[in-house]
Chain A
Amino acid sequence: MIRYVCADELARFPRLAATMFRDRAIQFSHRLRWEVSVDDIGAERDQYDALNPIYAIWQRPDGSHGGSMRILPTTGRTMVNEHFRHLNGGVEISTPLVWECTRFCLAPSAMRNPREAALIPAALMLAGCELGLRFGLTHAVGVFDARMIRIYRSLGWSPEILGREGTGRSAVAVGLWPVDDASRRAIAARSGLPARIAAEWFELSFPETNMAAIAAE
């Protein structure tokens, strides 16, 4: 299942957090050879993790990380504006209605498991779209391994490519996804996940209190 976790709550999910940062190191440092910093316990974090982002994380039944992405508003500091603006015609995208998704990551063991390799990326996309719809956004912007373009397309939610650079495994792209109900339905239809499931993930991570009951106390 997907859990939305703000960085300030990661301590409540120690196994999930530790395996996420470890899997990010494996994907971005070891496999893609991006110039990211990995600490002495093998965790990959950068300055944007310190801005209290929201993570959408696939949590396996054993509590470990299956895949994840990191979400920040473009009215604040973002990777796409600070490091990849040149891929976007120099435009600094900064509007309350567009948020940035980065560090789209899949656990190495999930990549080797056909069921997880199909399910988890679709679940992450659905979770991202759900969050955007809940918060009233129009688009998501992201920086990603350019080879993911094909995968995003197969998941039913293709980004428009604003720019790309590099070749092979160091190819990086900046893309823009529309956040709308049609996208949510397309991702659900393509993956076989019920469209309603993302709403359940949201409820689970941001549980409701009965406000009338408190008022009546």
Chain B
Amino acid sequence: MTRKLETVLETLKGTHCAESLQSLVEDLRGIYDVEHVVYHALNIAGSPYAALTYTNEWVDRYIEEDLGRIDPVIQTAMRRFHPLDWKRLDWTPPGARTMLGEAIANGLGNQGYTLPIRGPRGQFALFTVNASAADRSWDSFTAETAQDLMLISHFIHQKVLEIENVEEKAPGRELSPRERDTLHFLALGYGRAQIADRLGISEHTLRVYVDSARFKLGALNATHAVAVAVSSGIIFP
């Protein structure tokens, strides 16, 4: 885990309302040295939700002219689940090129990286970082931060579900006995190697179990997952 990511997760822990989420999104600009950060859900419990740093003028214009129709980022993200590097999208339609030019005139950078996020109840959200950069330095940035962005996008989405009181757990997303055992041993202070040994699995598998458990619990790291599991009575240390 990078130090930047740790900083973000630490802040997210203390984030419990839309205002503090908005200020986290604003802080992300400085942490990752980018122009803009956008979290945009098309549908959270029936209505859209956004935390973003674009100017109001650009957002109004985008909505007014319904630019989502021609925006290759939206159009591609609606169908795909993988991270989208803007420069690898189809910018051949003249409308898309004009839109990009207008976006840049409104303070956006020429590069972007967008992660589509889908929830079990049909929720669909996008998380974007946008910056001004030459192609090569943008490549280094995305290579270094792809994992951070993957995690942050999902954690912010989970946080929004929490803020909006949306029940995020689909049926069957409960922890399995093996995940509970993992958290139980972590709560007892065992090291990862010891736990893996006791459960008869490798440390790689243990890491996936912990990641999976923390994601289901909406926890930000292993320690937080243990805390959530204890406080919600899933485990009794």
Residue positions of A touching B, CB distance < 8 A:
6, 8, 52, 54, 72-76, 85, 89-98, 134-139, 141, 160, 162, 176, 178, 206-212, 214-215, 217
> Distance in Å from the Cβ of B38 to the closest Cβ of chain A?
18
Of A54, A94, A136, A162, which contacts B215 at CB under 8 A? A94
Beta-carbon contact of A94 and B118 below 8 Å: no
Chain B residues near A96: list those with CB within 8 A. 150-151, 153-154, 215
Of A91, A134, A206, which contacts B212 at CB under 8 A? A91
Chain B residues near A208: list those with CB within 8 A. 87-88, 135
Beta-carbon contact of B177 and A90 below 8 Å: yes
- Number of A-B residue pairs at CB separation under 8 A: 124
Q: Can you name 18 A-B pairs with beta carbons within 8 Å? A: A72-B81, A73-B81, A90-B177, A91-B209, A91-B212, A93-B212, A95-B212, A98-B208, A136-B149, A137-B147, A139-B204, A160-B205, A176-B205, A178-B204, A208-B87, A208-B135, A214-B101, A217-B101
Chain A residues near B86: list those with CB within 8 A. 211
> Distance in Å from the Cβ of B176 to the closest Cβ of chain A?
4
Interface membership of chain B positions 196-227, coded 1 if the CB is closer than 8 angstroms to chain A and 0 otherwise: 00000110110111011011100000000000
> Distance in Å from the Cβ of B6 to the closest Cβ of chain A?
16
Given contacts A91-B179, A138-B207, A215-B110, 4 further A-B contacts (CB under 8 A): A52-B81, A92-B172, A92-B212, A136-B148
Residue positions of B touching A, CB distance < 8 A:
79-83, 85-89, 91, 97, 100-101, 104, 110-111, 117-118, 134-135, 143, 145-151, 153-154, 172-173, 176-179, 201-202, 204-205, 207-209, 211-212, 214-216
Of A52, A97, A136, A207, which contacts B211 at CB under 8 A? A97
Beta-carbon contact of B82 and A54 below 8 Å: yes
CA distance A13 to B207 in the complex (A): 38
> Distance in Å from the Cβ of B12 to the closest Cβ of chain A?
15
> Distance in Å from the Cβ of A57 to the closest Cβ of chain B?
16
Chain B residues near A97: list those with CB within 8 A. 147, 150-151, 211
Beta-carbon contact of B80 and A206 below 8 Å: no
Beta-carbon contact of B173 and A176 below 8 Å: no
Beta-carbon contact of A94 and B208 below 8 Å: no
> Distance in Å from the Cβ of B108 to the closest Cβ of chain A?
10
Beta-carbon contact of B208 and A136 below 8 Å: no
Beta-carbon contact of B79 and A8 below 8 Å: yes
> Distance in Å from the Cβ of B114 to the closest Cβ of chain A?
12
Beta-carbon contact of A215 and B101 below 8 Å: yes
Closest 6 CB pairs of A and B: A136-B146, A136-B147, A90-B176, A89-B178, A95-B211, A206-B88
Beta-carbon contact of B91 and A206 below 8 Å: no
Chain B residues near A214: list those with CB within 8 A. 91, 97, 100-101, 110
> Distance in Å from the Cβ of A84 to the closest Cβ of chain B?
13
Residue of B nearest to A6 (CB): B80
> Distance in Å from the Cβ of A55 to the closest Cβ of chain B?
12
CA distance A8 to B100 in the complex (A): 24
Residue of A nearest to B182 (CB): A91
> Distance in Å from the Cβ of A180 to the closest Cβ of chain B?
10
Beta-carbon contact of B154 and A75 below 8 Å: yes
CA distance A4 to B146 in the complex (A): 19
Beta-carbon contact of A95 and B88 below 8 Å: no
Beta-carbon contact of A138 and B147 below 8 Å: yes
Beta-carbon contact of B111 and A211 below 8 Å: yes
Chain A residues near B172: list those with CB within 8 A. 92
Residue of B nearest to A177 (CB): B204
CA distance A209 to B96 in the complex (A): 13
Beta-carbon contact of A89 and B147 below 8 Å: no
Beta-carbon contact of A89 and B150 below 8 Å: no
Chain A residues near B207: list those with CB within 8 A. 138-139
> Distance in Å from the Cβ of B195 to the closest Cβ of chain A?
14
Chain B residues near A207: list those with CB within 8 A. 88
Chain A residues near B178: list those with CB within 8 A. 89-91
CA distance A16 to B16 in the complex (A): 49
Residue of B nearest to A98 (CB): B208
Beta-carbon contact of A134 and B146 below 8 Å: yes
CA distance A97 to B204 in the complex (A): 13
> Distance in Å from the Cβ of B83 to the closest Cβ of chain A?
5
Residue of B nearest to A89 (CB): B178
Residue of B nearest to A207 (CB): B88
